[in-house]
Chains A and B, each alone.
Chain A
């Protein structure tokens, strides 16, 4: 049996609606804000309507069940029910909208905003596009020396960063739960494994306040480390972050290839 067009359209809309909820709330674990969902559904509905009504026959087919319900005397029972249900829904909708809202404003922020090409760090303009970790080359040239730098970076980390990012680098430091946004989890493949060392250098030296507006710099508790640490200490702590997690920094070559 063919499914009536009206039912088809309704099924598509319901499917998309729950699809959004499943994908966002359960798979991405980032509960989708109501206002955003409403906006998405508006576009989806408009799209579905256009697809289902692109010529007159289709239009007629889509409207047929409605027409039948209103005009066909034998459908009287259904009609009465529908005519009662719709006003009830409208009434509830208006009631719901005029009730004062107790939902706090939604706050969206970008976790990894595009970095500026240059930034003012330690009082100097630094070109982030060409910046490299001055200790990285020891990794192949002098592994013993490299291990020592990593160890120095570990000391910097334990003294300064573990309170938030956690001694396991999992973003679950003793104070993490009290902060919003929560400190990032470096073990996760979605953070430092995706980034270049120069990006980390920019983020660590300039901290939360150094973020561009789309990343809501006013709420990030990430400190401005150029106030506390030397340039060398920051490069070493970056070595440690990669060493401990076993991730490799993203290189310029890889970044360019993917663009």
Chain B
């Protein structure tokens, strides 16, 4: 750091401290010491937010969203009015203490004391020379508590004139109809409102109300309190919208660490081939976290999706696996509309299911990232197709991320898919056993089969080794209920009862004789 810089900041620090003590308003509950803040910043924040607070730390290129540029003095998650750029200290304190889910910004509450946070806050505010207190606060009116009526009213407002659907899509999954950028020109994706764990500032209706009222500064998410905007709405209606958005949270397709076995159910009739078939409702879903491929060359750092949900059904001959994941864009190369939303180049959307070639006897599995030299894997891969070519389902033999052989399409794998309002659903069906036991996994009822997943979002530059993935989980083709256990149990009970009676009688007789 330059010496002059330090001097300037110290002087400003003294000045700011004096200023703070004069205007000890509610917004300045705890005043921070800038010098102490600089030390905290240098150790904990500088790596991302940059020495000069410009957000240009070494990882900036690999983070989406990138670290905030503090020199602009613009903050996204604040409770001051849309027409006041200055945040409340409490807003920033909250972001620093609790972190911002879905970004690289962690919560520091477990590492920094309240004083540390106040100090570092004083320091980062100075990057933009924010010295004044904010003047306009969000007007919350009276909160409308959530109710079916409020939610219904909110839904109507959400869709009216494409108010929110324009960016967040009909189901709130962010199925974009246009490409969004932030003030800095970086790509942004509208939030998937069904995934509350990706909300930076929680999906409590009050927080959602705040976002709707303030917008998200520096992004295209606008304020709906601004009277100059034709889509602005009253305080009461903003509460209704907030209640509706809060009600969108997924409930059944959420990650549960205990649910790491996909239970394939047995069906008596025909296996459903369409992903929208009602029969899928009978198969319990398992939802897994997807992470970007940051392990093998070339790495990929900026995913657009974070979960995948899986179901399985089987009959005497075949197994059908239903995968479902949110993807804001239906990427069909050749389609002009799809191309206008995509990054520079548009690729096909794609998903792959990975199995070991053989069900492992012991613990050892193939390397989770597409196998290894001694333990190959089968990949069942579906591609969305282009305007010139239909969707495809292909089996690959893989022995590593850069070693995959596609098999000639011999109809072994049949696929079907549907895309609706930000969600892909794909079904892949294969025979339980095949004529190629040396190269194909052979399924057996009741056995635990390792399974994992890969997905490519073609509008997010995902192709080749740029994809998201899961670690190994399990698939079990759950054996149909049978009466065997009951029969064996009753037999064993009767048998032991006989033995006991025999023993008891013998012993009693012996005792009598001895007496």
Please list the residues of chain A having a beta carbon within 8 angstroms of any beta carbon in chain B.
67, 70-73, 79, 83-84, 86-88, 90-96, 98-102, 104-105, 107-108, 154-155, 157-159, 162-164, 166-168, 170, 172, 174-175, 177-180, 208-209, 213, 216-219, 221, 223, 227-228, 244
Complex A-B, nearest 4 residue pairs according to Cβ-Cβ distance, in ascending order: A91-B493, A95-B489, A178-B289, A71-B511
B471 touches A98 (CB 8 A): no
B497 neighbours in A (Cβ, 8 Å): 83-84, 86-87
Supply 29 A–B pairs (Cβ within 8 Å), ascending by A. Answer: A83-B504, A87-B494, A87-B495, A87-B500, A91-B493, A91-B494, A93-B492, A94-B488, A98-B489, A99-B485, A100-B479, A104-B260, A104-B448, A155-B47, A155-B58, A158-B57, A158-B59, A163-B292, A167-B104, A168-B108, A172-B106, A208-B367, A209-B372, A217-B367, A218-B367, A218-B372, A221-B368, A223-B294, A228-B297
B500 touches A86 (CB 8 A): yes
B301 neighbours in A (Cβ, 8 Å): 163
The complex places the Cα of A218 from the Cα of B299 at a distance, in Å, of: 19
The complex places the Cα of A244 from the Cα of B438 at a distance, in Å, of: 51
B471 touches A219 (CB 8 A): yes
Among A93, A166, A174, A177, find the residue whose CB has the most chain B CB atoms closer than 10 A.
A174
The complex places the Cα of A177 from the Cα of B104 at a distance, in Å, of: 14
Interface assignment of B161: CB less than 8 Å from any CB of chain A: no
Nearest-Cβ distance from residue B494 to partner chain A, whole angstroms: 7
Q: Which of B89-97, B358-366, B422-430 lies on the face that meets chain A?
A: B358-366
Interface assignment of B103: CB less than 8 Å from any CB of chain A: yes
Nearest-Cβ distance from residue B92 to partner chain A, whole angstroms: 18
The complex places the Cα of A86 from the Cα of B104 at a distance, in Å, of: 59
A71 touches B508 (CB 8 A): yes
B472 neighbours in A (Cβ, 8 Å): 180, 219
Contact with A along B479-515 (1 / 0, CB 8 A): 1000011101111111111001101100110110000
CB within 8 Å for A87 and B446 given contacts A98-B484, A155-B58: no
A221 neighbours in B (Cβ, 8 Å): 295, 368-369, 471
Partner of A218, one of B295, B366, B474: B366
The complex places the Cα of A90 from the Cα of B503 at a distance, in Å, of: 17
A154 touches B47 (CB 8 A): yes
B508 touches A168 (CB 8 A): no
The complex places the Cα of A92 from the Cα of B369 at a distance, in Å, of: 43
The complex places the Cα of A168 from the Cα of B112 at a distance, in Å, of: 11
B363 touches A100 (CB 8 A): no
Closest to A91 in B: B493
Contact with A along B297-312 (1 / 0, CB 8 A): 1010100001000000
B504 touches A70 (CB 8 A): yes
Nearest-Cβ distance from residue A87 to partner chain B, whole angstroms: 4
The complex places the Cα of A19 from the Cα of B167 at a distance, in Å, of: 56
The complex places the Cα of A172 from the Cα of B107 at a distance, in Å, of: 11
Majority secondary structure of chain A interface residues (helix, strand, loop or mixed): helix
B102 neighbours in A (Cβ, 8 Å): 174
B510 neighbours in A (Cβ, 8 Å): 71
Interface assignment of B478: CB less than 8 Å from any CB of chain A: yes
The complex places the Cα of A221 from the Cα of B365 at a distance, in Å, of: 13
B366 neighbours in A (Cβ, 8 Å): 218
The complex places the Cα of A72 from the Cα of B508 at a distance, in Å, of: 7
A167 touches B295 (CB 8 A): no
B496 touches A87 (CB 8 A): yes
The complex places the Cα of A101 from the Cα of B476 at a distance, in Å, of: 10
B110 neighbours in A (Cβ, 8 Å): 168, 170
CB within 8 Å for A178 and B470 given contacts A73-B508, A90-B496, A102-B263: yes
The complex places the Cα of A237 from the Cα of B306 at a distance, in Å, of: 28
B504 touches A218 (CB 8 A): no
A158 neighbours in B (Cβ, 8 Å): 47-48, 57-59
Nearest-Cβ distance from residue B347 to partner chain A, whole angstroms: 22
Known: A83-B500, A88-B493. 18 other contacts (CB 8 A): A71-B511, A83-B497, A86-B496, A95-B485, A107-B363, A155-B47, A157-B47, A163-B301, A178-B289, A209-B367, A216-B363, A218-B365, A218-B367, A218-B375, A219-B368, A221-B295, A227-B297, A244-B43
Nearest-Cβ distance from residue A68 to partner chain B, whole angstroms: 10
A216 neighbours in B (Cβ, 8 Å): 363-364
CB within 8 Å for A213 and B290 given contacts A159-B62, A174-B103, A227-B297: no
Question: Which residues, 5 to 52 on B, are CB-close (under 8 Å) to A?
Answer: 43, 47-48
A209 neighbours in B (Cβ, 8 Å): 367, 372
Interface assignment of B1: CB less than 8 Å from any CB of chain A: no
Interface assignment of B261: CB less than 8 Å from any CB of chain A: yes
Nearest-Cβ distance from residue A225 to partner chain B, whole angstroms: 10
A208 neighbours in B (Cβ, 8 Å): 367
Partner of A159, one of B58, B448, B503: B58
The complex places the Cα of A162 from the Cα of B496 at a distance, in Å, of: 61
B365 neighbours in A (Cβ, 8 Å): 218-219
Interface assignment of B111: CB less than 8 Å from any CB of chain A: yes
B363 touches A105 (CB 8 A): yes
CB within 8 Å for A91 and B490 given contacts A98-B485, A178-B471: yes
Interface assignment of B341: CB less than 8 Å from any CB of chain A: no
Closest to B367 in A: A218
CB within 8 Å for A223 and B296 given contacts A104-B260, A179-B471: yes
Partner of B489, one of A79, A92, A104, A175: A92
Nearest-Cβ distance from residue B504 to partner chain A, whole angstroms: 6
Nearest-Cβ distance from residue A148 to partner chain B, whole angstroms: 13
A107 neighbours in B (Cβ, 8 Å): 363
Interface assignment of B216: CB less than 8 Å from any CB of chain A: no
Closest to B501 in A: A83
The complex places the Cα of A138 from the Cα of B375 at a distance, in Å, of: 45
Nearest-Cβ distance from residue A102 to partner chain B, whole angstroms: 7
Question: Which residues, 299 to 341 on B, are CB-close (under 8 Å) to A?
Answer: 299, 301, 306
Interface assignment of B291: CB less than 8 Å from any CB of chain A: yes
Question: Which residues, 229 to 262 on B, are CB-close (under 8 Å) to A?
Answer: 255, 260-261
The complex places the Cα of A177 from the Cα of B101 at a distance, in Å, of: 13
A91 neighbours in B (Cβ, 8 Å): 489-490, 492-494, 496
A175 touches B48 (CB 8 A): no
Closest to A216 in B: B363
Nearest-Cβ distance from residue B485 to partner chain A, whole angstroms: 4
Closest to A109 in B: B363
The complex places the Cα of A227 from the Cα of B402 at a distance, in Å, of: 14
CB within 8 Å for A95 and B488 given contacts A87-B500, A175-B291: yes
The complex places the Cα of A107 from the Cα of B365 at a distance, in Å, of: 11
A71 neighbours in B (Cβ, 8 Å): 507-508, 510-511
A227 neighbours in B (Cβ, 8 Å): 297
Contact with A along B260-283 (1 / 0, CB 8 A): 110100000000000000000000
Among B57, B478, B496, B503, find the residue whose CB has the most chain A CB atoms closer than 10 A.
B496
The complex places the Cα of A180 from the Cα of B263 at a distance, in Å, of: 20
B299 neighbours in A (Cβ, 8 Å): 228
B108 neighbours in A (Cβ, 8 Å): 168
The complex places the Cα of A223 from the Cα of B291 at a distance, in Å, of: 14
